[in-house]
Amino acid sequence: MISALSRATSRHRVTGTAGGLVDVATAVSTSVAAALAAKHPGGPLPMGRPGEVLDAAMRALGPAVLPELGIGTDQALSRIASVLVEHGMDPASPMAAAHLQPPPLAVAVAADTLASAANSSLDTYDSGPAGIAMERWVVHVLAGLAGLPAGADGVFTPGGSLSNLTALLLARDSTAARLGIDVRSDGVGALERPVVLCSELAHFSVHRACAALGLGEAAVRMVPVDGRRRMRVAAAEQLLAGGGTPIAIFATAGTTDFGSVDPLPELADLAADTGTWLHVDAAYGFGALFCDQLAAKVSGIRHADSITVDLHKIGWQPAAASALLVRDPTAFGALDRQVAYLNPADDVTAGYDGRLGMSLQTTRRADAVKVAATLLAHGRRGLGGMLQACHDLAVYAQHRITMDERLELVAPAELTTVVFRYRTRDPALANAVNAALRRRLMASGRALVGRTDVGVPASTCLKCTLLNPNATTVDIDALVDAVLDAGSTSEEALTTGACISAEATDNTADACISAEAADNRASAEAAS
């Protein structure tokens, strides 16, 4: 009696698919209240230098030792919520335009919480049939949208980099199998001079994947791009004819910086003619399919053998929400695995099978749950409208940049990015000023723009990555104004070396930022 009672009063607050969710809802309300009460920095990032910001965030958590006694759910969550608000990056700020990192949709965040509570895993049937069904459902929806045949399948991964790696693994092993080579047991030694073709603007994850897969980074042949930053097909053809074992043509639908799309129909022909696997890295560009006006940009994607889709970019999902879609699901045989404690043969025969054999992971969280909720809630039109809004903002930013003689447009808006530069009076200072002005904006917390290199020799450029469908042209104007302000201050600092604490020319602008941030903080503290 007594022990039953003490057990009842000391029950731990766990959750699941139903009952325990009440506790989750209460905890979420507590954290929301704490987040709303916390001091929002006002801009997308807290003011200050990285060391100061990180130190302050760690101090706010408390001493970095495991506390002997916990402070309880409410207090812990309140503390966490305020650390996230006061020392984090706010993806919903219309002045956050650095990366392909959207403000996530509320429906997706809520569904992700439900997925966490259900804690299902995709590897075995008994770890959560609903999660398995939702992944299958989402993958079929996405494959259908891409125009892949009905038999296509796919799998969620922890990101576009891992989707690309998985695609190249399937391409490697299916190519090897056709040559009578069993890479899985014998390794890649028997593959003679493997070749993976991609454009010079392809994502760096193709190099990493080739290194990890034993193909070697030397397998990557970078094909030059044309004036619109698309892979040159004739050059690809030549490289492919140059010998070696073609593993894949790795096309990009939406390069990370420019949103340019390789000529997919022509590359599909080249792949078909040479019997080469066609992978389309549509991590960024897949979302164009949601939008009537932009879908034509990725036409030809239906010819792919595999497609990478990042819905944590265009798709407004909290990361990770990446899928690899595969035309011929027998290619997943490369990952097939029979494990006594997970999928014994007689269980599989009886239908008690999970998706262990489609992934390099074992325990795998159900990232498709939030995507399913989003697709149901917003539909193609809803998502298409959001993309259209972001694209329109990019076109507006392009216009605004073109109209201002202090700025130089480097690449126009294909999808939702615009690449540009701040023009310096002394061209020799251009790289340093563009780099410094971006750091100045980060230190001020006022605005976030992206940075990249363009051309040879490299020009340091700035990039607006516009994925906030609620931002307006007024916000774009404010963003551009912030760049102009930071540009002229940085140029001034670099030209005159006016900052006392400067140690070297290269650090001048940064040193000035530091002094300025300290000033700003002092005046903010004085005001409050």
Ligand X SMILES: *Cc1c(COP(=O)(O)O)cnc(C)c1O
Site residues (vs ligand X, CB under 6 A): 100, 159-161, 164, 203, 205, 252, 254, 256, 281, 283-284, 310, 322
Q: Return phi, psi of residue 342, to 5°.
A: -115, -55
In whole angstroms, what is the distance from residue 333 CA to residue 335 CA?
5
Residue 62 backbone phi and psi in degrees, to 5: 110, 175
DSSP, res 40:
-
Classify the phi-psi angles of 425: left when phi > 0, otherwise alpha if psi is within -120 to 50, otherwise beta: alpha
Nearer to ligand X, 100 or 301 (CB): 100
* Beta-bridge partner residues of 96: 448
| φ/ψ (deg, to 5) at 199 | -75, 160
We find the least distance from the C-beta atom of residue 275 to ligand X, in angstroms, to be 25
Give me the least distance between CB of 283 and ligand X, in Å please: 4
Q: Please, which residue, 121 or 322, has the CB nearer to ligand X?
A: 322
The nearer residue to ligand X, 100 or 215, going by C-beta atoms, is: 100
Strand (E) positions, 184-244? 194-199, 220-223
- Determine which helix (DSSP H) or strand (DSSP E) holds 390, and give its type and residue range: helix 368-403
* Residue whose pair of structure tokens reads 């959750």 in the numeric block: 15
Torsion of CA 195, 197, 200, 205, to 10 degrees: -80
As measured in angstroms, the least distance from the Cβ of 114 to ligand X is: 23
Q: Return the residue nearest ligand X (CB atom).
A: 160
Q: Is 347 buried (19+), middle (13-18) or exposed (0-12) by CB count in 10 A? A: middle
Please say which residue, 284 or 316, places its beta carbon nearer to ligand X: 284
Identify which of residues 48 and 254 has a Cβ nearer to ligand X in the complex.
Answer: 254
Tokens of 519: 């000033």
CB of 446 to ligand X, least distance (A): 25
Nearer to ligand X, 100 or 155 (CB): 100
Nearest 5°: phi and psi at 157?
-135, 170
Strand partners of residue 427: none
Residue 408 CB, nearest distance to ligand X (Å)? Answer: 24
Q: Which is nearer to ligand X, 240 or 467 (CB)?
A: 467
* Minimal distance, residue 313 CB to ligand X, in Å: 6
Q: How many CA atoms lie within 13 A of 47 on its CB side?
A: 20
Q: How far is CA 447 from CA 96, 205, 479, in A?
A: 6, 28, 6
Cα distance between residue 491 and residue 496, in whole Å: 8
66 neighbors 278 (Cβ within 8 angstroms): no
Omega before 320 within 30 of 0, i.e. cis: yes
Which residue, 283 or 499, has its beta carbon nearer to ligand X?
283
Measured from the CB of residue 134, what is the shortest distance to ligand X in angstroms?
Answer: 20
Cβ distance to ligand X smaller for residue 81 or 210: 210
| Distance in Å, CB of 183 to ligand X, minimum | 24
DSSP single-letter state for residue 231: B
At closest approach, how far in Å is the CB of 262 from ligand X?
A: 11
Closest distance to ligand X from the beta carbon of 267 (Å):
15
Shortest Cβ 321–ligand X spacing (Å): 9
145: Cβ contacts below 8 Å, ≥ 6 apart:
289, 290, 380
> Which residue do the tokens 């969280």 mark?
365
Q: Which is nearer to ligand X, 310 or 491 (CB)?
A: 310
| Backbone phi, psi, residue 140, to 5° | -70, -40
In the bound complex, what is the minimum distance in angstroms from residue 351's beta carbon to ligand X? 33
**Is residue 306 within 8 Å of 174, Cβ to Cβ?**
no
409 with 385: CB under 8 angstroms?
no
